[in-house]
C-alpha cells in the first residue's frame, strides 16, 4: 500500500509518498516520491498551513491509503495531535488542532507527532533494532530530543524530552520560544553560526585559522558532550544518537568529538528522511486515542 507523510520544520516542509509492504517491517518502507517546499513562516499561520497542504498535494496520487502521517516541530499532544507549544518558526501553531484540521481538509485520518519523536521512532525501529532504548538529539536550526523505549508505540514509550527549551544558561541568549538561555541557543546550527560569525556551519567548522570559528566548534563539542553525559545519567538510554543537519555534516566534527570525549554519542543513520519514515511507522503501528 502507499501512504503520504510530511515533515514540517521551520525552514521547509517535506512530503513523501511512501510504499509500505508490511506494517511492522521497517525494511518494506520505501520513499516513492519526495518534495520540499519553503515553510513560509513569514506569511504567518495561514502561510505555513498552505505550505503543508501544497507539499502534500505535490506527492499525492489517487490510490493512496486514507491515512496521512505528519511529523512537526513543536510540542504535540500524543493522543489528539494538538500543538501544545511552538516557537516563532511556526507562527500561530500554539493550540492548533493540527490533526483534526488536516483531517477535515484532506478527508483522511491524519496522525501528527513531534518531529524528534518521529526521528527517534525511525532510528529505533529501522536502524537500531537490538537496542532497548534510543535517545535522539536532532541538531539543526533548533534542537529536538526524544526517547523511545521498548514496548508499544504510544505516549508512554515515545517521549518528547524538550531538552532544547530547558534553561542552560541563566539570563542567556533569547530563544525563539521567548524564554532566555534555552539549551537550543547553545547546541544548534544557529548557535554555531552566531558564535563563529559565519552564515553556514560548514564555514564555521572549516575556517580553522579564525579564533571565533575555533571557539564556536569547541563550544559545540563540549556542550554536546555535557548534554549527552547528563542525558545518559537522567534517562539511561542504551544509545544516544545525533541526527539532523549536524549528523549530515559529521565529517566536519565527529572524529574530533570522539578523540576528545569517546563514544558518548553515535551518528543517526536514517538521515533527513527519518522524520518522514518515523511518522509513517508511528501512524501505522502506534496507539493514539483521538487522532
Which residues, numbered 136-175, are part of the site for Zn ion (CB under 5 A)?
A: 165, 175
Q: Is 14 in the site for Zn ion (CB under 5 A)?
A: no
- Pull the grid cell for residue 174: 533569547
Within 13 Å and on the Cβ side, how many CA atoms surround 90? Answer: 27
User: In angstroms, rounded to a whole number, what is the distance separating the alpha carbons of residues 2 and 32?
Assistant: 9
Of positions 4, 161, 182, 264, contacts Zn ion by CB under 5 A: 182
C-alpha 278/C-alpha 121 separation (Å) is 5
Indicate whether 90 belongs to the interface with Zn ion (CB under 5 A): no
Task: End-to-end CA distance of the chain: give it in Å, rounded.
Answer: 21
Should residue 117 be labelled a site residue for Zn ion when binding is judged by CB under 5 A? Answer: no
Q: What is the CA radius of gyration of the chain?
A: 18
Contact 116, 272 (CB under 8 A): no
Q: Is 89 in the site for Zn ion (CB under 5 A)?
A: no
Tell me how many residues contact Zn ion (CB under 5 A).
5
Which one of residues 177, 224, 242, 268 is an interface residue with Zn ion (CB under 5 A)? 177
From 181, 177, 265, select the one nearest 227 (Cα to Cα). Answer: 265
* Residues comprising the chain, all counted: 291
**Least CB distance to Zn ion at residue 174 (A):** 9
Q: Determine, following the binding rule CB under 5 A, whether residue 241 of this chain makes contact with Zn ion.
A: no
Q: How far is the CB of 189 from Zn ion (least distance, A)?
A: 15
In whole angstroms, how close is the CB of 30 to Zn ion at the nearest point?
36
Q: Binding string, 49-78, against Zn ion, x = CB under 5 A?
A: ------------------------------
Kindly list the residues in this chain that would bind Zn ion in the complex (CB under 5 A): 165, 175, 177, 179, 182
Amino acid at each position: 500500500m502507499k501512504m503520504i507523510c510530511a515533515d514540517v520544520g521551520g525552514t521547509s516542509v517535506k512530503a513523501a509518498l511512501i510504499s509500505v509492504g508490511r506494517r511492522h517491517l521497517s525494511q518494506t518502507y520505501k520513499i516513492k516520491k519526495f518534495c520540499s517546499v519553503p515553510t513560509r513562516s513569514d506569511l504567518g499561520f495561514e502561510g505555513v498551513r498552505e505550505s503543508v497542504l501544497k507539499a502534500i498535494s505535490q506527492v499525492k496520487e489517487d490510490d493512496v491509503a486514507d491515512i496521512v502521517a505528519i511529523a512537526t516541530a513543536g510540542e504535540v499532544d500524543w493522543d489528539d495531535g494538538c500543538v501544545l507549544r511552538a516557537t516563532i518558526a511556526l507562527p500561530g501553531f500554539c493550540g492548533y488542532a493540527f490533526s483534526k484540521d488536516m483531517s477535515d481538509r484532506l478527508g483522511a485520518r491524519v496522525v501528527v507527532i513531534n518531529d524528534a519523536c518521529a526521528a527517534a521512532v525511525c532510528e529505533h525501529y529501522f536502524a537500531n533494532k537490538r537496542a532497548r532504548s534510543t535517545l535522539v538529539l536532532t541538531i539543526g536550526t533548533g534542537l529536538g530530543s526524544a526517547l523511545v523505549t521498548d514496548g508499544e508505540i504510544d505516549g508512554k514509550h515515545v517521549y518528547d524530552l524538550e531538552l532544547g527549551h530547558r534553561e542552560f544558561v541563566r539570563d542567556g541568549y533569547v530563544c525563539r520560544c521567548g524564554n532566555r538561555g534555552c539549551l537550543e541557543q547553545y547546541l544548534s546550527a544557529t548557535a554555531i553560526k552566531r558564535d563563529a560569525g559565519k552564515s553556514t556551519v560548514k564555514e564555521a567548522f572549516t575556517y580553522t585559522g579564525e579564533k571565533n570559528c575555533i571557539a564556536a566548534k569547541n563550544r559545540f563539542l563540549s556542550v554536546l558532550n555535557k548534554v549527552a553525559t547528563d542525558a545518559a545519567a537522567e534517562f539511561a538510554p542504551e544509545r544516544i544518537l545525533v541526527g539532523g543537519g549536524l549528523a549530515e555534516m559529521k565529517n566536519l566534527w565527529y572524529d574530533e568529538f570522539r578523540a576528545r570525549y569517546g563514544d558518548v554519542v553515535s551518528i543517526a543513520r536514517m538521515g533527513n528522511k527519518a522524520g518522514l519514515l518515523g511518522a509513517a511507522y508511528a501512524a501505522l503501528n502506534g496507539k493514539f486515542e483521538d487522532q
